[in-house]
C-alpha cells in the first residue's frame, strides 16, 4: 500500500521533504500557493549539517555547479573596518566532513525542484490553503478543492495558519522582533572596478561587520558573479512608501567608509522584518496524522545561518522515519518520534541564534573590547578559545557535525 502524502508549501522545507520521501519510495504531492516555485532573497549559506543532507538527496553536482566555497569569515569592526577576528570555515568543513558553501537561494530551490520532478513528485500550483483540519487530516485550497491525504505535512512558512492549532510558548508578545534584514546584491564585476573594495570580490572569504545594534554580512554567490549583502539593523517606523535604500543609507551613517562605497553600488534594496514566533511545544496533531515542519514550526532568526539547515534536517528525518511505513496506522508512531528528536535541537538552536545576536550587537565598551581581544587572540593562536560559541570545539560539534539521520540530539547536546 502506498501512502497518500500531501505537503503544503514549496519552499526549502517542502521541497526537501518531497525529495526525502520520494527517495524512500513515497510519491508525495506538493501544494504551492504561487503559480511556480519562487524565491525570496538571494544568498543562503549551506552549512555542513545541511550540505551533507542535500548531497544525499542527489544535489551534489547541481549544488556545486554554482556554489562558492570560502576559507573563512573575516570579522570587521563596524566603524572603521579593522579586523577583529575570523571564523575558519575550512576547518569547520573539514571536521564536519561536509562542505560549507554559499549559493543563490533560487538555484537551490530550482535544484530541489528538478530532483523532485525526476523522482516523480507531483506539484499543484496556485493552491493557496484557506484552512486546515489537522485531525482528519485535510486542507481546503483557494479553488475550493478539499485535500484529504493519509498524511499532511505543513511546511508553508512562519505565517502558516496551522500554527494556531499547536500548543506554543510565547517568546514575544508579537510575531516580530526589533530587527529587519535589508537585502541587496552587487555584481562582482562592479566591485572589482573599485580599488578600495576589490578585496570583497575574493571568493576565499566572507566578511562580517559587527557593531552596536547591527551587523552586515557579505559573500559571493552564483559562481562568484554576485556579492550578496545582508544588513541586519533595528526596525524603524519608516513610512511605508519610503525607499529602503534611503533608509539604509541613513541608518549606516558613521559605519566603515567601505560600506558607504558599497551602498552607492546598490541599485535595489528589499527590507524584511525578522520574525520571532512563539516556540511550539508540539509539532504533531493529536490524531498523529499531520505534522508542522520548517519555518512554520520553528522560524530561525538569521544569526547562526541555520534557518535552511533546520528545515532540511526536518525533511531528511521525515524521509528516514517514514521509509518503511506503508499503512496509515504506522504514521503516528513515526511522526511522534520525529517530534521527540527534533524539538530539543530546534529549540536550542533558536535560543543560541538569539544569543549570537547579542554577542554580534554589543555596544562599544568593556564587553565589546573583551570580545574582540579574545577573537584576535584566537586568530593568532587557535588554542585560545573563540568568544563565539560556534567556533569552539563543542559548538562546532553540536551545530555542524550533527547528522540528523544518525545522531540523537538529546545525547549529542549532552556530549557537547
Q: If you average pLDDT over residues 258-272, what whole number do you get?
A: 94
Distance between CA atoms of residues 128 and 220, nearest Å: 34
What's the pLDDT at 174?
A: 39
Cβ atoms within 10 Å, residue 267: 10
pLDDT above 50 (res 175): no
Distance between CA atoms of residues 275 and 298, nearest Å: 11
What's the pLDDT at 171?
A: 47
Classify each residue of 220-245 as buried b or exposed e, where b means 16 or more C-beta atoms within 10 Å of its C-beta: bbbeeebbbbbbbbeeeeeeeeeebb
The reported pTM is 0.95
What's the pLDDT at 415?
A: 61
What's the pLDDT at 277?
A: 76
What's the pLDDT at 413?
A: 67
- What percent of the chain is predicted at pLDDT more than 70? 95
Three-state secondary structure call for residue 282 = coil
Instruction: Quick: pLDDT tens for 2-40.
Output: 899 999 999 999 999 999 999 999 999 999 999 999 876
Instruction: Quick: pLDDT tens for 200-209.
Output: 999 999 999 9
Distance between CA atoms of residues 160 and 156, nearest Å: 6
Instruction: Quick: pLDDT tens for 131-167.
Output: 999 999 999 999 888 999 999 999 999 888 888 887 7
Indicate the average pLDDT of the chain. 92
Instruction: Quick: pLDDT tens for 51-93.
Output: 999 999 999 998 888 999 999 999 999 999 999 999 999 999 9
What's the pLDDT at 120?
A: 97
Instruction: Quick: pLDDT tens for 357-385.
Output: 999 999 999 999 999 999 999 999 989 99
Amino acid at each position: 500500500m502506498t501512502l497518500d502524502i500531501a505537503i503544503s508549501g514549496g519552499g526549502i522545507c517542502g521541497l526537501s521533504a518531497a525529495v526525502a520521501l520520494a527517495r524512500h519510495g513515497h510519491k508525495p504531492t506538493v501544494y504551492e500557493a504561487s503559480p511556480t516555485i519562487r524565491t525570496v532573497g538571494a544568498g543562503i549559506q549551506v552549512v555542513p549539517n545541511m550540505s551533507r543532507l542535500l548531497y544525499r538527496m542527489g544535489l551534489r553536482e547541481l549544488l556545486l555547479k554554482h556554489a562558492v566555497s570560502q576559507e573563512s569569515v573575516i570579522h570587521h569592526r563596524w566603524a572603521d573596518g579593522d579586523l577583529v577576528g575570523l571564523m575558519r570555515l575550512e576547518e569547520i568543513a573539514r571536521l564536519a566532513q561536509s562542505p560549507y558553501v554559499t549559493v543563490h537561494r533560487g538555484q537551490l530551490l530550482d535544484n530541489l525542484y528538478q530532483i523532485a520532478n525526476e523522482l516523480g513528485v507531483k506539484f499543484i500550483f496556485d493552491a493557496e490553503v484557506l484552512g486546515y483540519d489537522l485531525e482528519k487530516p485535510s486542507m481546503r485550497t483557494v479553488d475550493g478543492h478539499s485535500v484529504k491525504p493519509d498524511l499532511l505535512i505543513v511546511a508553508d512558512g512562519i505565517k502558516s495558519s496551522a500554527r494556531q492549532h499547536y500548543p506554543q510558548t510565547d517568546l514575544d508578545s508579537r510575531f516580530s522582533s526589533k530587527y529587519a534584514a535589508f537585502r541587496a546584491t552587487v555584481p562582482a564585476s562592479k566591485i572589482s572596478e573599485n580599488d578600495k573594495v576589490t578585496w570583497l570580490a575574493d571568493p576565499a572569504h566572507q566578511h562580517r561587520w559587527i557593531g552596536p545594534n547591527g551587523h552586515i554580512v557579505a559573500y559571493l554567490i552564483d559562481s562568484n558573479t554576485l556579492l550578496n549583502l545582508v544588513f541586519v539593523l533595528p526596525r524603524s517606523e519608516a513610512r511605508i512608501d519610503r525607499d529602503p535604500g534611503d533608509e539604509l543609507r541613513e541608518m549606516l551613517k558613521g559605519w566603515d567608509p567601505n560600506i558607504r562605497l558599497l551602498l552607492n553600488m546598490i541599485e535595489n534594496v528589499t527590507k524584511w522584518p525578522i520574525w520571532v514566533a512563539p516556540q511550539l511545544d508540539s509539532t504533531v496533531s493529536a490524531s498523529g496524522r499531520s505534522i508542522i515542519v520548517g519555518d512554520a514550526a520553528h522560524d530561525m532568526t538569521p544569526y547562526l545561518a541555520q534557518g535552511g539547515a533546520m528545515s532540511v534536517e526536518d525533511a531528511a528525518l521525515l524521509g528516514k522515519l517514514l521509509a518503511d511505513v506503508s499503512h496509515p496506522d504506522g504514521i503516528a508512531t513515526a511522526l511522534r518520534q520525529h517530534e521527540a528528536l527534533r524539538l530539543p535541537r530546534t529549540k536550542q538552536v533558536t535560543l543560541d541564534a538569539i544569543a549570537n545576536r547579542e554577542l554580534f550587537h554589543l555596544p562599544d565598551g568593556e564587553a565589546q573590547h573583551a570580545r574582540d581581544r579574545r577573537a584576535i587572540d584566537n586568530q593568532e593562536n587557535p588554542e585560545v578559545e573563540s568568544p563565539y560559541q560556534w567556533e569552539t570545539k563543542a559548538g562546532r560539534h553540536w551545530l555542524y557535525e550533527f547528522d540528523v539521520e544518525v545522531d540523537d540530539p538529546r545525547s549529542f547536546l549532552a556530549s557537547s
